[in-house]
Amino acid sequence: MLFRQFVDDDLGCSSYLVGDEHAGIAVLVDPSYRIEPYLDEAERRDIRLVGVLETHTHADHVSGHGRLALEHGLPVRIHEAAGAAYPHEPLVDGTEVELGDVVIRTVHTPGHRPEHCAFAVIDRSRGPEPWLVLTGDSLFVGDAARPDLAVEALDGAEGLFHSLRRLVELGDGVEVYPGHVAGSLCGAAMSSKASTTIGFERRFNHALLEDHDAFLAAAAGPQPPRPPNMDRIVEINRGPFVGAAPPLVRLAEATAGAALLDVRPARAFAAGHRPGAVNVPVSGSSFGTKAAFVLPEGPVVIEAADEAQALRAADALHSVGLLELAGWREAGGDERFEPVDMDELERRLAAGEIDLIDVREPDEVESGSIPGSRNVPYRLVRAEAANGGLPIVTVCETGPRAAIAASVLQAEGIDARPVLDGGVTAWRSRNAAPTA
């Protein structure tokens, strides 16, 4: 059997190449919009790609099935309940895709979405039972998918509860390869591990240990933020095929009406940038998701240190549905802000001279915050950070989100500066009670 996992570290999404190496054929499962790594791997292995399988209609990233269909003529398969508007071969529970000695069996596992399927992979040269299962957005390493993105949370949870128990019936020795690892918004407690086994999850995963009532009660509780652009991404993935984006052009000046996205590190941005630019470093974690949360609708101009940095940012923006990129230009400018260090923060907060905004998520703030701060998550500061006129200081756990939030506010004409070094972590360390 031919098997290769691809992980998009920025989005926490996994894709898979599955096939029969001797027969020289394979399919792609849940491909991302950036299809070049799959094509390179198939060429390296001298494998012919013969199709695409989707576990479901994704809500957090743009699928590559359109590019693979349009550019390479690959047929796409997805469950009949998806309501896909593109040409596809509908899957139902039990549908099998044969690739030489390898068989991929469809297991309908609704819950995250009504059309969701897992794919049990059988290598007939080893035996008739599944060797591994691609669980998509159902069973994760250490967690289960959220049930609230496509239907009411309790309805989704009811389906997911039974779907997870069905996966357990595959057997303890079956390897589990999920559609997401840590960093995704599709689950709260998932591990960064790339795979697991049914047996391990049956013993340790809370979603498999809880009884029916406890499982539904957890589903009714707080969930991570919904993916940015969720409705738009679902429509893109369910609608007509989307082909490759046009080449990213270099601009002499910004396009009128376009948002300016500076993708350099926070300190480079602080030292000098153009008025109105928002800073989300492409070198940081979850760049695409963070950018989609804070950018307004409409075209985007990428401001970068060089073309390579701009192209990297463009790939990630395309993946989260930001397809309208006007181009890129070199970053820099006369506007700046001076980061706030911990001494200044404590002094000015005590004097009542600043409005301190903790830009972490509410569940993070529950574990402790700086007295005198108020909580507005970084993704909401544009709409909710109006105040009585005091200068704003933004803070998060260690600095990255505080810098993003401050740039968003400054772009709106609000006096804002971030705490870049340490944030709440540094404050805790300074204010920890001495040990005996």
Q: What is the pLDDT of residues 213-245, one digit of tens each?
A: 999 998 877 778 888 889 999 999 999 999 999
Backbone angles phi, psi at 412, to 5 degrees: -90, 5
Output the CA–CA distances (angstroms, integers) from residue 138 to 43, 280, 284, 362, in the order listed. Answer: 31, 31, 27, 25
Cβ atoms of 255 and 178 closer than 8 Å: no
Q: DSSP states of 314-354 as a string? A: HHHHHHTT---EEEEEE---SB--PPPPHHHHHHHHHTT--
What whole-number distance in Å separates Cα of residue 107 and Cα of residue 293?
34
What architecture (CATH level 2) is domain 245-330?
3-Layer(aba) Sandwich (3.40)
Q: Report pLDDT digits (tens) over 284-295.
A: 989 999 999 999
Whole-angstrom Cα distance, residue 349 to residue 354?
6
Average pLDDT value for residue range 46-57: 98
DSSP annotation of 273: B
Whose tokens are 């809500």? That residue is 59
- Predicted pLDDT at 104: 98
Phi, psi of 91 (to 5 degrees): -100, 150
Q: How far is CA 82 from CA 7, 86, 89, 194, 294, in A?
A: 24, 11, 11, 27, 29
- Determine if the pTM surpasses 0.85: yes
What is the pLDDT averaged over residues 403-412?
A: 95
Q: Is the pLDDT of residue 277 over 90?
A: yes
Model confidence band, residue 392 (pLDDT cutoffs 50, 70, 90): very high
Element (H, E) at 155: helix 153-168
Q: Is 252 exposed, middle or buried (0-12, 13-18, 19+ CB in 10 A)?
A: exposed
Contact indicator for 414, 385 with CB cutoff of 8 Å: yes
Least confident of 99-108, 160-169, 181-190: 181-190
Does residue 121 register a pLDDT over 70? yes
- pLDDT at position 421 is 83
Domain residue ranges of the chain, discontinuous segments joined by +: 2-234, 245-330, 342-431
Whether the per-residue pLDDT at 200 is higher than 60: the answer is yes
Q: Do domains 245-330 and 342-431 have the same CATH topology?
A: yes
Report, as an integer, the average pLDDT of 405-423: 93
Whether 388 has a pLDDT exceeding 90, the answer reads: no
Judge whether residue 187 has pLDDT over 70: no
Q: Give the ranges where 359-422 is alpha helix by DSSP (H).
A: 362-365, 381-384, 400-411
Q: Is the pLDDT of residue 297 over 80?
A: yes
Mean pLDDT to the nearest integer, 313-318: 97
At residue 112, does pLDDT exceed 60? yes
Look at residue 387 in the predicted model and tell me its pLDDT.
Answer: 63
CATH number of 2-234: 3.60.15.10
CB proximity list for 140: less than 8 A, separation 6 or greater: 178, 180, 181, 187, 190, 191
In contact, 256 and 153? CB cutoff 8 Å: no
Look at residues 165, 166, 59, 53 and name the one whose alpha carbon lies nearest to residue 112.
59
Compute the distance between CA of residue 133 and CA of residue 295 in angstroms, rounded to an integer. Answer: 37
Average pLDDT over the chain reads 93
Count CB neighbours of 177 within 10 A.
Answer: 22
Pairing outcome for strands 130-136 and 259-262: unpaired
Residue 436 has pLDDT above 60, yes or no: no
Q: What is the pLDDT of residue 31?
A: 98
Kindly indicate the confidence band of residue 422, based on its pLDDT and cuts at 50, 70 and 90. Answer: confident
pLDDT for 181:
85
Nearest to 29 by CA among 132, 114, 128: 132
The answer to whether residues 435 and 425 touch, using CB atoms and an 8 Å cutoff, is no
Residue carrying structure tokens 């027969």: 23
Predicted confidence at residue 433, as pLDDT, reads: 58
Q: Place domain 342-431 in its CATH homologous superfamily.
A: Rhodanese-like domain (3.40.250.10)
pLDDT at 183: 54
What is the Cα–Cα distance from 369 to 56, expressed in whole angstroms?
39
d(CA 332, CA 325): 19
pLDDT digits (tens, 9 = 90+) for 338-380: 999 999 999 999 999 999 999 999 989 998 999 999 999 999 9
Percent of the chain with pLDDT over 90: 85
What are the CA-CA distances from residue 184 to residues 12, 85, 206 (Å)?
5, 26, 18
Is residue 111 pLDDT above 60, yes or no? yes
Please, which residues have CB within 8 angstroms of residue 50's CB and are 6 or more apart in sequence? 19, 25, 26, 27, 74, 75, 99
Pseudo-torsion of CA 178, 182, 187, 188, nearest 10°?
Answer: 150
For residues 418 and 341, is the Cβ–Cβ distance under 8 A? Answer: no
